[in-house]
Amino acid sequence: MMRRRHLLCGCGAAGLLGLVPQAARSEFALPGRFEQPDIASDEGGLWALMDREEDKLKRSRFLLDDSALHQYVSGIACRLAADHCPDMRVYLVRTPYFNASMAPNGMMQVWSGLLLRAANEAQLAAVLGHEIGHYLQRHSVARMRDARSKSGFAQFLGIALGAAGAGSIGQVAQLGILASTFAFSRDNEREADVIGLELMHRAGYDPMEASRVWAQLIEEDKGENGGGAVLFATHPAPDERRETLEAAARALTGDGASGATHAERYRAHIEPVRLLMVRDELRRRVPDSSLRLFDQLLAQNGRDGLLLYARAEALRARGKPDDAGLALAALDEADGKPGRPPEAQRLRGQLLRSRGDTDGARDAYAHYLNLKPEAPDAPMIRRYIETP
């Protein structure tokens, strides 16, 4: 049979929940590229279904329109997958949750919420490497066959087809939830973690970043509102998970040279869409969770103007007694820092106006209009400035 793009993983980032053994394998051999399954087989049927879903995804308005970023993320996946690189198609999907997934036909989704939350290139590679680990071991085919009574397989296809009818971003989100619903076994997760760590190591990344990205997700998920990780909807987030990944990374590196993280390179590539991703995070309307995320990003990336503005917006949305003052302090700190958007001045005007500081609000609004004279809300802002 002809060779065809073939990445067999439907777990999404939820797959990170498996346990890693105390020592990572040292001699994992990449299998040869896989063959296209017969359309009459169960695997071929699932492949064909995902082909149809991929055609819909190609036309989605929720794909991130940034060719340089797409090429960059695809390059990371290729370095990890090695000879299997030609079998992958990467899609960057605009949805503000931490997730990635791979379908049986080679369609790989990377969600913008993951791109926002990853601190560096190595952390992104940790998630992608885990997905590729499932693919290399053909876990999704084994999982499907385990549950393949006629009624079970019909239910599997029915959920997938129902997700396809969800429309727009709902379709993408439902497919991610579908991936989590059909979770892999504990042994599958353990195996994918070990392989993912080794693929990171071979590609020159620091495998310790796998445990660090997990620790960040656990921190963000604390509190009543939870975090932006889809995987926490169906699975717990034990601290033991982070500790086991850390131990496995140490075993793999022998506490020697750890590898690269490429933090600056990563930030440079996501910079063109960072404001968009921050706005989408704020639209989740879970300010406590967003504040934990923004505080982590500020600690990782420095006190840049965009993240300080984002923190101020989350504080305003939370609305506790001291939050307006804290938001204004964050905006003051953002002044003159790179990345501060024009909307920071509009937010300052809103906060000052709510405090009864009319002159200060008008001054802030005027600065906003100078920076963004064609803003959609410019007519309304001008009327406020001009009203006695």
Q: What is the pLDDT of residue 235?
A: 43
pLDDT digits (tens, 9 = 90+) for 327-380: 999 999 999 999 999 999 999 999 999 999 999 999 999 999 999 999 999 999
Closest CA to 298 of 17, 361, 191, 290: 290
Domain 275-386 has CATH 3.30.470.10: no
Q: 230: which DSSP letter?
A: G
Q: What is the pLDDT of residue 78?
A: 95
Contacts of 143 (CB under 8 A, 6+ apart): 10, 182, 184, 185, 188
Domain with CATH 1.25.40.10 in the chain: 275-386
Strands 89-93 and 107-111: parallel
Q: Which two tokens stand for residue 255?
A: 């506490």
> How far is the C-alpha of 323 from the C-alpha of 326, rounded, in Å?
5
Rg, the chain, Cα only: 23
- State phi, psi for 165 to the nearest 5 degrees: -90, 5
Q: What is the pLDDT of residue 30?
A: 86
pTM of the full predicted structure? 0.83
pLDDT digits (tens, 9 = 90+) for 170-207: 444 444 444 444 456 667 777 888 888 999 999 999 99
Of the two residues 68 and 232, the one the predictor is more confident about is 68
> How far is the C-alpha of 187 from the C-alpha of 190, rounded, in Å?
5
> How far is the C-alpha of 95 from the C-alpha of 235, rounded, in Å?
20
- State phi, psi for 260 to the nearest 5 degrees: -95, 155
Helix axis angle, 121-136 to 209-221, nearest 10°: 100
Share of the chain above pLDDT 70, in %: 76
